[in-house]
Every structure is written in C-alpha cells, then in structure tokens.
Chains A and B, each alone.
Chain A
Amino acid sequence: MEKIHMNIDGKDIETTSDRTILEAARENGLRIPSLCNEQRMEPYGACRICLVEVEGARGLLPACYTTVTDGMVVRTATDELMRIRRTILELILSDHPKDCMTCESTGNCELQDLAYEYGVKDHRFRGEEHHYEVLADNPLIERDYDKCILCGRCIRICREVQGVGVYDFVNRGFDSVPGIPYNKPMMESPCEFCGQCVSTCPTGAIISIPSKGKGRTWQVEKVRTTCPYCGCGCQLDLHVRDGEIVEVSSPVMVGPGQGNLCVKGRYGYPFVHHEDRLTRPLIRKGGELVPAGWEEALETVSKHLRKAMDGKGPDSIAFLSSARCTNEENYLLQKLARAVVGTNNVDHCARL
C-alpha cells in the first residue's frame, strides 16, 4: 500500500493505493453518485452512474471499480457526465413504477434521490414495461421486481456477506431479475431471513413486511442501541414512531455486525409491544397471582427478605441475576445480595 497524491474536481487529495476513486472521493467529503456500490461488498461496476472522467484515460471510468494511481486527475461533474447520468436514470425509470407516493422506500430510496438531484422527471424511452406479481411468499420479506434496477446488490450481499447465495440473475436481457432457483418460495430456499438484501436494496424492490406502512424515514426517530439477543453485540437502530418500534436496522460499517443482522436482530423486536407484557406488580393471594400496587409488592418482598435474614440468616436467601439485563442492573443486584442482604448466593445462567 503506497501513498497516493491525486486531484478530484480541483481538490488535491492524499490517499492510499488500495482505494478506489469512489472511496477516495467519499473519504474527502466529495460525493460521486452510485447505485450498485455498497461498502459491505466488493465493487461491481454495473450501474455506470458513477462514471467519471480521468485525465489521459480512454473513455469514462466507473469510480467504484477504478483504483487510484499517483498523479491521477479526476473530474466527476462535467456536462457530459451529467448528461450521461441523466440518460442512465431515464433508462432505469423507463421501466420503473412511478408510485413513490405509496412506495415503502420513499425517502429511503437511492434512485429517488438521484432522480430528484438530477431533475429526471420523465423519460424519452417509451416501450415495454414489466408488471411482475408482488412476491410475499413468507412472513418477512417482500419482493417487487417492478422496482428492481438490476444492481445485483441483493445477489452479492447474500453471496459475499451472508455466504448463502439465495439469489442470482434469472432470465436474459430485458427479463433479467434476481430470482430464487426454480422460482421457489423463499421458505423453501436456503434463505436465512437475515434481511441483508432488504438492508442493501437501493429501491423498494425488496422490503420488510412487518414494517410496511408503519412510518416514513422522516417520521421515525432512530435510537442506537445493542441487540438484546445473542452475545455478538450487533448495533441496532430502533426506528420509533409514536412510542412504537416500527422497524430495526443496523448502521453500516459500525460495530461487530458492520450493518449485518440475523433474523432475530432484524425482526425479533415486536415482543417489546406484546400484549402479554407485565404492566403491574402481581402478588399471590389465595393461590392466585393478582395485580397489586408497587408499594404493597415492594413491602411484601422486603418483609420476607427481612424475615429470612433475621431468621435462618442471609444464606437462606438466593438471587438469580440475569445475562439479559444490563451491566448496571447486574451490578446493583449483586450489591443488593452482598451489601444489603449479606450473602454471596448470587448467580445467573452463564452455565445454561
């Protein structure tokens, strides 16, 4: 890896020889549009929206696929490039539904953002349009190939990151789509329902069913936290609207998962709002657990603890702490056992 000096749009940049033009630009706060590129995957060079002009090069080069060289001079926004990008967008939109109003991905759609930025409202290419059936053959992931732009991100993330390879392009030419072998339902494929494809799809072609219609990206507050399931510690963004978690995503390139989750991390949140949640203290009276106030419940428990402490002694009391609770709560519970009750009878399910 060598140090590289280059120039992008008149700005002198220092970077390293393992970077692509796209990476070097982004690291220096310069934006080159892209559609098929995503940080979690290898560069692919399919969509051509990131074409740039490199001095001395023959033709235009995809910024996502071209590694930097010393002395390189790059222009990213010439009139010709802008014209080409508009044409690419027009071509994509010539076979793309104009239902942004109800599309699940509105506000979170890379195609929509580029159409907006480049002012592409309509297109010149009248012709055949696809009208596929929306596929919702499982409880979690819905596919609408009408919205697919053939960037291949779902195919590649499933293969390169998840190592499963549920999708691949099926059919030829105009009819190409990222399909599942033999058009089987997802439930019968090796799909692990991690939703990595949902997380990378730049449009509304692959979406999560449970969060459908639950809130636009600007209507939710995102709260960064840590997944409550296994010990991996993936970072989650809980999307909250009106006191309800409506979706979970993971920040790309952050934490152990780098934006990747498993089926539990991505879709396992609704238990929080389940009607079975305990909402009041319960006390056993006449053999039955009945709702009670906090004061009565706390008093009852303290009374029994006191009785046992004064009777058989602190070691007749035992505490089970929790591998599900926070560090702070575990600390306080062992402090309660040791400092307040006076016993070391405190354990949790590390062994189970």
Chain B
Amino acid sequence: MTNSIEDLEEADCILAIGSNTTEGHPIVGLRIKRAVMRDDCKLIVAEPRHIRLCYYAQQWLRHRPGSDVALLNGMMNVILSEGLEDEEFIRERCEGFKEFKKVVEEYTPERAAEICGVEADDIRRAARTFATADSAAIVYAMGITQHTTGVDNVLSLANLAMLTGNLGKEGAGVNPLRGQNNVQGACDMGALPNVFTGYQPVTDAAVRDRFEHAWDVDYLPGNPGLTLMEMMDGAHKGDIDVLYIMGENPVISDPDVEHLKEALDKVDFLVVQDIFLTETARYADVVFPAASFAEKEGTFTNTDRRVQRVRKAIEPPGEARDDSWIIAQIASRLEYDMGDVSAPRVMDEIASLTPSYGGVSYARLEEGAITWPCPDAGHPGTPILHIEKFTKGKGLFSPVEYKPPAEMPDEEYPLILTTGRLLTHYHTGTMTRRVRELDELVPRNRVWVNPADAERLGVEEGQEVAVQSRRGAIKLEARVTEKVGEGVVFVPFHFGESPANALTNPALDPVAKIPEYKVAAVRILTGKSMAGIEYSISTI
C-alpha cells in the first residue's frame, strides 16, 4: 500500500476494485465501512460479484471478469474529455502522458461499456465521483492481479491515481491488499528469483558484491532464477532435481492441480517443511516438522509495510523446530556456518544489507511497529509513500490496451469461473479447516450459480453438481444466488476435497507470471452426466 490502513478513513472517495475486502481483509474492510458511515466517503465498488461492500457503496460496477482495463480506460477517457484531470500533478510529477492519452482516447465510455458490461453512464458517473473527490484512494487485491493482464490492470490503476493527482497525500494512494500475513515481508526479504532483500536486483554486480562480502562467499549467481510456475514447468521437463518447499501448499493453491501433481512426481527429491502433513507434503521424500507462529520469535510485515513482532507463546509440539534452526542445520551440513540465527540477530543482518529496513531493530520494535522505508535508527518510518516526489523520480504513465482473458467461454464451456476467498476460511484451509468451530460455520464447498443459469441448467439450491473445465472437474453443492451475474460462477478455493484449482487456468501474466485464477471457462454438469467425476485429492 502506498498509504496506511488508518489513512483510508481520510479518503473522500474509495474505489475498491477486485477486492472482496470485508472477507479477504476484514479489518481493512472496517476502515472502508467507517469512512463511508462516519465521514460520507463515496465508495465505488467494481466487482463482478455482489460482495458485502456493495451494501455500503454509492455505486457498484458489475464488470465482466477480466475487463478491468476497459473499465478503467473508460473512466479515464471521461476524466480527460471532461477536463477533470489534475493538470499540475501530471505536468510536475509525471511523464509519458501523451502516449497514454492517445490510447485512452480510444476508449469512449460506450466502447468500454461494450467490453465490460457496465452502462456507459455508470462509467461516467464513477469517473466523475473519483476525479472530483479531494482525495481518492484505490484499494485492490487479487481480483486485479490474478489475470493474464494482471500487470496491465495494476498499471491502469496507477494511471488513474496519477491522472487525478491521488498519490503522495492523505486519503489517497494505490493500495494493494496483500493476501497473507507476511507476503509483503517475504518479498521484502528477497524470497523472489530476481532480487535480494529490499528489491536489490541480483543482476546488479555492485549489489552482488555487497552480499558476497557480507555473506562471506566468493560468488553469487547473477542470472534471475525461476518463478514458482516456472519451477513447476521445469520439474515437468525433468530440469529440477531437488525442490525444497517451506510452508507452502501448492497442491491446493496452484492452478491446474493435475499438472502440478505430475510435476511433483517428476522431481527426484522433494523436501517439505511445514506444520501439517499438507496435500503437498504427502508427495515429499523428507518432511521437516516446523514451529507455528505461536512457537517462535520473529517479525511479519503487513500489507501497509508495517514491521511487527511475532512472539513465542508456547513450545512447538514434539520434536518440531523453528524454520531458522532447520535452515541453519542444512547450511552447516553443506559447510556454511550461518552463525547465530536468533531472530534479533538475523534482523540486524537484514537491516545492515537492506536500505529500507536500515532502521529496524528488535529494540525499536519493542516500542511499536515500524513502517518501511525506515533507512536509519532515527527515522520515524514512512506511512505514506511518494510525498512530493516518486521514489523513482517521475511517475510513468503507461498506455494500456484491453486484452481479453486467455480463456473465454464458448459453446462447450459456456460459463466464466472466478475464484476467491470466504470470510471464515483461509487460503488452502490447512489451518481454518482444522478449527472445528470455523469448519462448522462453513463445512463444505459450494459453487455459486445465478438463478437464470440455474434454471436453464435445471440446478436447484443444495443440489450436488459438477463443475468442469478443460483441465479438471470437481463435485460440490450448488448455491443459487444473484450475487453472481448471469454467465458467471464462483468457487472458493479453500477446500481440498473439491479444489477450485483443479479447474483454473495456469495461463500466466507475461511479466508477473501470475496465473489467471479469476477467469476460466467451465460448464456445469448434473445427474448422469456427472458419472465418473470423482475428485479424490487426499483431504484433511
């Protein structure tokens, strides 16, 4: 997030797009609701499903899954044609405006409406609301990023924020909501194939020099490594001999499960380090029992870049050990001494090598959270980014053309499947489905079907149906609801016994390599046509 969670309450307008905030990020959801209820903030929700946030919205734009660029270009077309842009901001702080403008001019509200299924006048109204607010914030989540056009979608949001001068000030910003407790931190720490900590590129020889020196090694590789999806493809081709997985469950979370399981089978040696024998761990050659969050010291960095303490409350069960110890043990057996791997000492090492974490220390964290960038011990942290100028100098407008999703519905697979989370469960269900009370609240998976589609298919509420895509099929219960539009079905991905990702499309965004979880073509089968479909992934 460029701005803080608290800061959302300062916004005069919030555009929530591709974020089911009250379920995916409930506490951010509270801030948005409060901004609306207390301070008359105008909320625009752009979302194919009717989500709870729609009850608080001044306007709900039900655009077709995967049509975000068209919708946003349409809004920006209105802003430009009505002269609502922030000329000074564009002139002083941005570049690339001309090329961007040329593309946006092509997206009249009428043309955008045709692509995204939202009335042209509604696009106009949303554009005016957003552009005329004193401060307007954008909130988005995986509904924006998990597309083959994920990067295009994000660039379009950046365009919208720059066009209206909504960066570097209170109540504004481009605010991606990170889906997991420490996904921000994992990225910050360089758990990415192309960067060390603090996004320092592995291709930069000077950076490598610094790390080589600090880590006391002669050589660090300068070629970017493989992304997760590329690793799995590599495994498929037999290029990966050892795969070492710490605390992830790709068998449920990755698209096209069947492809992934074959990949895991082809890896010579699979190591999994986790707290449960997850669906992925069942494929392992060695499983290390790890400590849970309550059993170790450390830090998480949340979605608004806030570094906060994790404290040990209880002992790990049996012989389970914390991940740091396990990693250090492996390192020492490969003749590398990691030294003292206690959390405060490791944070000192991180701070010494990472400019944005330079001022983070356990002594300071005792006093409270620190929001990076925090370059030195005296720095207060930075809740709002890009004040006065962008970190990289000028903000770059990107001309973005609409591209359809990789797989569109056709006669054979006539429905669009979109996937997501429920409030009660979390990600692959490893944790929440083992909490009896939570599983009692939502015990099974359901596919949401629009009443018109249901009638046509002869599907009734509570009926067992199968959802099938070109990649797989699952059986589950139907929920007939207007919360999904006609031609769209929704399946949550928490349930190992009917995994949504048996259906999803592994087509990737060419830059970010993120799979298109939010759009796949499917069909619904009932009665005899379901025969033979039996999803049998090992369940918890």
A residues at B contact (CB < 8 Å): 138-140, 160-163, 187, 192-194, 209-210, 221, 223-235, 238, 240, 243-245, 255-257, 260-265, 267-274, 276-284, 289, 294, 297-302, 304-309, 311-312, 314-352
Contacts and interface: CB of A to CB of B under 8 A. Distances in A.
B406 interface: no
Nearest 5 Cβ contacts at the A-B interface: A279-B318, A233-B302, A326-B298, A344-B225, A322-B247
A307 B227 CA distance: 23
B377 interface: no
Interface string B189-213: 1111110110000100000000100
B387 interface: no
B3 to A, nearest CB: 12
Contact of B540 (A276, A308, A345): A276
Given A326-B300, A351-B227, A209 B437 contact: yes
Given A233-B301, A317-B244, 12 more contacts: A193-B424, A228-B294, A230-B303, A255-B369, A278-B287, A289-B284, A322-B191, A325-B246, A349-B248, A350-B187, A351-B145, A351-B514
A315 B426 CA distance: 33
10 contacts: A238-B313, A257-B30, A272-B295, A305-B242, A306-B334, A314-B221, A315-B221, A326-B182, A331-B197, A346-B191
B470 interface: no
A270 B294 CA distance: 11
Contact of B426 (A229, A234, A255, A330): A229
Interface string B489-507: 0000000000000000000
A345 B202 CA distance: 11
Contact of A232 (B5, B241, B331, B347): B5
Contacts of B184: 231
Contacts of B217: 339
Dominant secondary structure of chain A at its interface with chain B: mixed
A324 B298 CA distance: 12
Given A332-B328, A344-B221, A324 B336 contact: no
A346 B226 CA distance: 7
Contacts of A160: 34, 37-38
Contact of B304 (A230, A256, A265, A273): A256
A235 B187 contact: no
Contacts of B253: 349, 352
Contacts of B295: 272
A343 B225 CA distance: 7
Interface string B58-72: 000000000000000
Contacts of A162: 30, 33
B330 A302 contact: yes
B266 to A, nearest CB: 12
Contact of A277 (B179, B275, B308): B275
Nearest to B285: A284
A139 B246 contact: no
A329 B323 contact: yes
A289 B282 contact: yes
B404 interface: no
A347 B225 contact: yes
Which of B56, B186, B281, B315 has the most chain A CB atoms closer than 10 A to its own CB? B186
B457 interface: no
Nearest to A303: B333
Interface string B425-458: 1100011101111101100000000000000000
A319 B464 CA distance: 39
Interface stretch (B20-28, B121-129, B472-480): B20-28
A322 B291 CA distance: 13
A335 B313 contact: no
Contacts of A350: 183, 186-187, 192
Interface of B is mostly: mixed
Contact of A163 (B34, B186, B311, B437): B34
Contacts of B319: 279-281, 294
B96 interface: no
A18 B369 CA distance: 27
B303 A268 contact: no
Size range of the interface on B?
35 or more
A309 B334 CA distance: 10
B461 interface: no
A331 B331 CA distance: 13
Contact of A161 (B34, B286, B296): B34
A263 B423 contact: yes
Interface in B274-328: 274-277, 281-282, 284-290, 292-296, 298-304, 306-315, 317-324, 326-328
Most buried by A among B294, B343, B349, B512: B294
Contact of B434 (A265, A274, A309): A274
B119 to A, nearest CB: 28
Contacts of B333: 298-299, 302
Q: Which of B27, B241, B322, B333 has the most CB of A within 10 A?
A: B27
Given A238-B313, A331-B197, A262 B26 contact: yes
Contacts of A302: 330, 333-334
B182 A323 contact: yes
B48 interface: no
Contacts of B25: 230-232
A295 to B, nearest CB: 9
A190 to B, nearest CB: 9
B310 A225 contact: yes
B27 A256 contact: yes
A274 B311 CA distance: 20
Contacts of A267: 435, 437-438
A66 B540 CA distance: 56
B189 A281 contact: no
Contacts of A331: 189-190, 197, 346, 349-350
Which of A162, A261, A325 is packed against the most chain B CB atoms within 10 Å? A325
B426 A225 contact: no
A327 B286 contact: no
B288 A321 contact: no
Contacts of B6: 256
A264 B27 CA distance: 11
A349 B183 contact: yes
A106 to B, nearest CB: 23
Given A300-B286, A347-B227, A263 B299 contact: no
B185 A330 contact: yes
A268 B431 contact: yes
A320 to B, nearest CB: 4
B133 interface: no
B341 interface: yes
B37 A324 contact: no
Contacts of A334: 189-191, 196-197
Contact of B231 (A255, A318, A322): A318
B250 interface: yes
Nearest to A317: B242
A277 B286 contact: no
Contacts of A339: 211, 215, 217, 220, 336
A143 B195 CA distance: 52
A286 B320 CA distance: 24
Contacts of A260: 27, 30
A170 to B, nearest CB: 22
A326 B183 CA distance: 10
Given A320-B231, A344-B223, A226 B192 contact: no
**Residue of A227, A262, A321 with highest tally of chain B CB at under 10 A:** A321
